[in-house]
Amino acid sequence: MIKLSKWLLVVAASAGLVACGGGSDPVPVPDQAQLRVIHASPDAPNVDVYAAGAKALSNVPYKAASGLLTVNAGDLPVKVTPAGSDAGVISATLKLAKDTLTTVIAVNEVAKIEPLVITESTAKPAAGQARLRVVHAAATAPAVDVYVTAPGADLGNTTATLSNVAFKAFSGGLEVPAADYRVRVTPAGSKTVVFDSGTLPVPAGADLLAVAVPQANGSSPISVLLINRGSSANVSEVNDVNAKLRVVHASPNAPAVDVLANGSAILSNVPFFTASNYLTVEAKKYTVALNAAGTATQALTADLALDKANNYTVFAVGLLAGNPALQYLVAKDDASLPPAGQIKVRVVHASPNAPAVDVYANDALVMSNVSFPAAGAYLKVPAGNYVFKLRVAGAAATSAPAFTSPAVSTSAGKIYTVVARGLLPNGTGDSSKDFTLTVLNDN
């Protein structure tokens, strides 16, 4: 939420807000309009917004929206710049008609950022009704169908509320009775749901702008910003009801396993060292169990809570009937893309008998004192070929590394997890359990 107090004070003089003068002469009241601004450009930095040459908003982050500003009707120059800069990325002169609300949405990726301007009446919904206007502001998403239904409605027997909505398209105001609703989005012409809001209570009098914006994490390519015209806390983000889950068998002395969530198998006969694909699962709390493949013999069980619109990798690490004990290492993954020409990479220490290590990439120290079990933060580095070296934590950078990887080729825009796994030394007689580094692709 962005509060209006500073905006009102700053823009009053420049945009011609109504003023109360002293003396006995009445001050003419000009025709008025309303204005708000929404930041919906996913890779753009925080921005400043100027109205009629004066800074109206400062340091506005992605997915934020202003409240409503009452200004004089007529032409109003608006400029959007990166925060702290006066280099405009959006410049437009808005023609504000009397008794209208104009919303300016900064859309598209920063290299192609542009204003999407929506004008609507300031009239309130009818008694007992609510109003919803839908905007497609996710440049990377295709044209979609939108279903606004009762929570339990069967999509197979339902006609789309809005059909073939393309990027930058927006609906008229849909007036609906106050009730619980569910918003589902599918690719145009399909019944395959790519976004599901779950149950949304819509009270009488609510006047909502629903803006679909890009979402990097979770199973849906979008989330929806609900912007309430009549509320001071005017923005709430509605995420898809699902999460994404990947499971990695990283216990070197455990057999192949079946993975069960709340008693139901989600993966079967997973050997060491195997990473599943990402699974789309409902975001909620699960009891996750590992059973020896094909049996009811349970090796590990623990509760795992998954949040909406998040990606997770769950590593089964440690030793079966050994020390350190078999356990889960839960890593929250971040699928947001790195800057152009770069990659994102993190290191996971999943070797149960290896000491804490310092991690070097092309002889540059990138992580220090990484102990078992741990998942490091993602680093943003230039794409290219990397050789990873591990040294015992605290060892001199000139000392012989305990492990040197082969050259790893990386591609710009990709996200990688480098896993230290296996045994050092390996006493199993199985070379597949030797200590090594394995690279997982996260996108």
Residuewise pLDDT in 10s, the chain (443 residues): 333 333 333 333 334 433 334 445 555 557 889 988 999 999 889 998 888 888 888 899 999 998 888 888 999 998 889 898 887 788 889 999 999 999 999 999 988 999 999 999 989 999 999 999 999 999 999 999 999 999 999 999 999 999 999 999 999 999 999 999 999 999 999 999 999 999 999 999 999 999 999 999 999 999 999 999 876 668 999 999 999 999 999 999 999 999 999 999 999 999 999 999 999 999 999 999 999 999 999 999 999 999 999 999 999 999 998 999 999 999 999 999 998 899 999 999 999 999 999 999 999 999 999 999 999 999 999 999 999 999 999 999 999 999 999 999 999 999 999 999 999 887 777 888 999 999 999 99
Query: Other C-beta atoms within 10 Å of 172: how many?
Result: 10
Give the model's pLDDT for residue 188. Answer: 97
Cβ distance 100 to 125 under 8 Å?
A: no
Cα–Cα distances (Å) from 294 to 61, 256, 268, 272, 378, in that order, read 50, 9, 8, 16, 36
Q: Residues 6 or more apart from 51 whose CB is under 8 A from it?
A: 11, 14, 15, 35, 69, 71, 76, 77, 78
- The H or E element spanning position 38 is strand 32-39
**pLDDT, tens only, 1-48:** 333 333 333 333 334 433 334 445 555 557 889 988 999 999 889 998
* pLDDT for 13: 36
| pTM to 2 decimal places | 0.86
Q: List the alpha helices (DSSP H) in 331-427.
A: none
Determine the pLDDT at residue 151: 96
Tell which residue, 372, 366, 386, 348, has the closest CA to residue 424: 372
The rounded distance, in Å, linking the Cα atoms of 66 and 273 is 49
Domains in the chain, CATH or no CATH each: 1-123 (2.60.40), 124-239 (2.60.40), 241-333 (2.60.40), 337-443 (2.60.40)
Degrees, nearest 5: CA angle 183-186-187: 150
Which tokens in the block code for residue 67?
């409240």
DSSP for 101-145, written as a single string: EEEEEEES-GGG-EEEEEEEE-PPPPTTEEEEEEEE--TTS--EE
Question: What pLDDT does 14 receive?
Answer: 37
> Helix or strand or coil: residue 13?
helix
312, 353 contact by CB (below 8 A): no
Tens of pLDDT along 383-442? 999 999 999 999 999 999 999 999 999 999 999 999 999 998 877 778 889 999 999 999
Q: What is the pLDDT of residue 231?
A: 64
pLDDT for the residue numbered 30 = 73
Residue 176's Cβ-count burial label (10 Å; 0-12, 13-18, 19+) is middle
Termini Cα distance of the chain: 31
